[in-house]
């Protein structure tokens, strides 16, 4: 096992610059805010720009399967930038979770190439709160012949997905199915979500035709791997959220005057921001370690993912809460974007396992068992 590379390569920095430029041009905070209240929660033009023009939809998919042949390290950098903007695009569902599942379950399937090219948008039909170690979901049943019935709640990125990857209990045990969003019998109902920029939907299936992608042990392992990868990479999004909150708050406190002083000159506030910065430095190291270990397929991947989620999930929430608090009354308003980050951070904390869940996972992984009984 080689030493982890916790830095960013030049290529990664170039990718970051491209994504950031595109987001600066096409994803200003005012547009994100306006979209939250409109009928269409996602920005299809922005998603096309990212997926097709920049080619980030299949970034870590090997070239032989129609992707860009980069690694999960690069995908993590994209997530940092998307987090920094709370960008309203289905990247997590399509490019991370669904792509991860296809890669693990059936890389030769032509569907993967379509998704990697940005030609089709997919998502993984599990509740967003599902942790990597959770058992195979049993809310959808497959009849012989591949007709699926059941219900999956709180699915991320389902509203725009043209295709859903559905774990279901079939006649021969667990299996993974691809379901067309337009298929008869499929219902996708938007929920009112805590996170305005990543809306959730409930998916109902009533004898919907599905195409079986994998079954049995491989299906179970592929789902677990997709969720593990998703949780590990989510830490990079959380880092991006935290960084925006910290830097925005610092800039505000440099300018804002009260008591005839700039607020940032008060030691009590400086110390809070120094502590937040310190935790962000840790989050960057933990998120990079997870991305690097997942990219390399290293034996420490499960520890790295649990560690990153245990730290970064809580940090992003704290950063967003400090951002609202230190902006004072302005931070409580709808027009200031701080609340979008708070909502994203809190929802991300629950997504793919809470910090408490991941700490409990570590207890088993690093041999620190709890008391008996």
Partner 1 sequence: MEAELRERVRRLLADHDPAGTDRLDFLRARFDAGLAWVHFPPGLGGLGAPRALQALVDAELEAAGAPDNDPRRIGIGLGMAAPTLLRYGTEEQKQRFLRPLWTGEEVWCQLFSEPGAGSDLAALATRAVPEGDGWRVDGQKVWTSTAHTARWAILIARTDPDLPKHRGITYFVCDMTDPGVEVRPLRQLTGEAEFNEVFLTGVRIPDTHRLGGVGEGWQVAQTTLNNERVAIGGQAMPREGGMVGVVAATWRERPELRTHELHQRLLKAWVDAEVARLAGERLRQQLAVGQPGPEGAAMKLAFARLAQELSGLEVELLGEEGLAYDDWTMRRPETVDFNGRQAGYRYLRAKGNSIEGGTSEILRNIIAERVLGLPAEPRTDKDMPWKELPR
CB of 277 to partner 1, least distance (A): 6
Residue with tokens 């207890």: 363
**Of the listed pieces 47-55, 89-97, 225-233, 362-370, which binds partner 1 according to CB under 8 A?**
362-370
Buried b (16+ CB within 10 A) or exposed e, 61-94: bbeebbbbebbbbbbbbbbbbbbbbbbbbbbbbb
Structure tokens at 138: 């049993």
Map residue 182 onto helix, strand or coil: coil
255 CB-contact burial (10 Å; exposed 0-12 / middle 13-18 / buried 19+):
exposed
Q: Which is nearer to partner 1, 108 or 325 (CB)?
A: 325
295 in Cβ contact with 62 (< 8 Å) = no
Q: Which is nearer to partner 1, 31 or 363 (CB)?
A: 363
51 DSSP assignment: I
Considering only residues 65 to 124 of the shown chain, the ones binding partner 1 according to CB under 8 A are none
134 contacts partner 1 (rule: CB under 8 A):
no
Instruction: List phi, psi (to 5°) of 224.
Output: -60, -40
Instruction: List phi, psi (to 5°) of 164.
Output: -120, 140
87 in Cβ contact with 32 (< 8 Å) = yes
256 contacts partner 1 (rule: CB under 8 A):
no
Considering only residues 190 to 249 of the shown chain, the ones binding partner 1 according to CB under 8 A are none
Where on the phi/psi map is residue 146: left (φ > 0), alpha (ψ -120 to 50), or beta? left
**Of the listed pieces 65-73, 165-173, 184-192, 363-371, which binds partner 1 according to CB under 8 A?**
363-371
CB of 101 to partner 1, least distance (A): 28
Size of the site for partner 1 (CB under 8 A): 43
Residue of 33, 233, 283, 345 that binds partner 1 (CB under 8 A): 283
* DSSP secondary structure of 47-72: HHIIIIIS--TTTTS-GGGTS----H
159 in Cβ contact with 173 (< 8 Å) = no
CB of 338 to partner 1, least distance (A): 18
Q: Which is nearer to partner 1, 16 or 359 (CB)?
A: 359
Residue of 145, 267, 329, 335 that binds partner 1 (CB under 8 A): 267
CB of 46 to partner 1, least distance (A): 31
364 contacts partner 1 (rule: CB under 8 A):
no
Residue of 39, 297, 329, 371 that binds partner 1 (CB under 8 A): 371
1 contacts partner 1 (rule: CB under 8 A):
no
345 in Cβ contact with 354 (< 8 Å) = no
Instruction: List phi, psi (to 5°) of 205.
Output: -125, 125
Residue with tokens 């989050």: 283
**Of the listed pieces 64-72, 184-192, 275-283, 341-349, which binds partner 1 according to CB under 8 A?**
275-283
Q: Which is nearer to partner 1, 52 or 274 (CB)?
A: 274
Annotate each residue in 284-313 with x if it binds partner 1 (CB under 8 A) or - if it does not, as one string. Answer: xxx-xx-----------------x--xx--
Q: Which is nearer to partner 1, 188 or 250 (CB)?
A: 250
Residue of 127, 264, 331, 353 that binds partner 1 (CB under 8 A): 264
CA angle 226, 229, 231 (to 5 degrees): 105
Q: Which of 58, 23, 11, 79 is nearest to 290 (CA)?
A: 79
Q: Which is nearer to partner 1, 48 or 270 (CB)?
A: 270
Map residue 234 onto helix, strand or coil: helix
365 contacts partner 1 (rule: CB under 8 A):
no
The site for partner 1 (CB under 8 A) is made up of 4-7, 250, 253-254, 261-262, 264-267, 269-271, 273-275, 277-278, 281-286, 288-289, 307, 310-311, 359-360, 362-363, 366-372
């Amino acid at each position: 096992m080689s030493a982890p590379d916790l830095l960013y390569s030049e290529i990664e920095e170039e990718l970051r610059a491209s994504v950031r430029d595109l987001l600066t041009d096409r994803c200003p905070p005012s547009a994100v805010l306006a979209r939250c209240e409109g009928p269409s929660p996602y920005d299809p033009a922005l998603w096309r720009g990212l997926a097709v023009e920049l080619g980030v939809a299949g970034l870590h998919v090997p070239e032989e399967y129609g992707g860009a042949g980069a690694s999960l390290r690069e995908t993590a950098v994209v997530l940092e930038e998307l987090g920094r903007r709370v960008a309203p695009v289905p990247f997590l569902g399509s490019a991370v979770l669904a792509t991860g599942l296809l890669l693990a379950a059936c890389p030769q399937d032509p569907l993967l190439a379509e998704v990697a090219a940005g030609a089709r948008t997919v998502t993984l039909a599990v509740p967003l709160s599902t942790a990597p170690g959770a058992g195979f979901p049993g809310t959808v049943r497959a009849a012989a012949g591949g007709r699926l019935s059941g219900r999956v709640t709180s699915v991320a990125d389902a509203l725009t997905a043209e295709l859903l990857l559905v774990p279901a209990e079939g006649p021969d045990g667990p299996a993974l199915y691809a379901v067309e969003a337009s298929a008869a019998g499929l219902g996708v109902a938007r929920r009112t979500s805590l996170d305005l920029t990543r809306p959730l939907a409930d998916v109902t299936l009533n004898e919907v035709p599905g195409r079986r992608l994998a079954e049995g042990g491989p299906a179970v392992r592929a789902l677990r791997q997709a969720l593990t990868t998703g949780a590990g990479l989510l830490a990079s999004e959380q880092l991006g959220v935290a960084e925006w909150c910290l830097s925005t708050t610092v800039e505000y406190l440099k300018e804002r005057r009260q008591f005839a002083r700039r607020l940032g000159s008060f030691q009590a506030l400086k110390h809070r921001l120094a502590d937040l910065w310190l935790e962000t430095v840790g989050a960057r190291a933990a998120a990079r370690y997870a991305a690097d270990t997942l990219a390399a397929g290293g034996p420490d991947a499960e520890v790295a993912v649990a560690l990153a989620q245990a730290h970064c999930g809580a940090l992003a929430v704290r950063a967003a809460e400090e951002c609202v608090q230190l902006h004072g009354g302005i931070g409580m308003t709808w027009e200031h974007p701080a609340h979008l980050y708070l909502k994203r951070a809190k929802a991300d904390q629950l997504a793919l396992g809470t910090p408490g869940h991941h700490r409990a996972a570590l207890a088993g992984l690093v041999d620190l068992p709890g008391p008996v009984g």
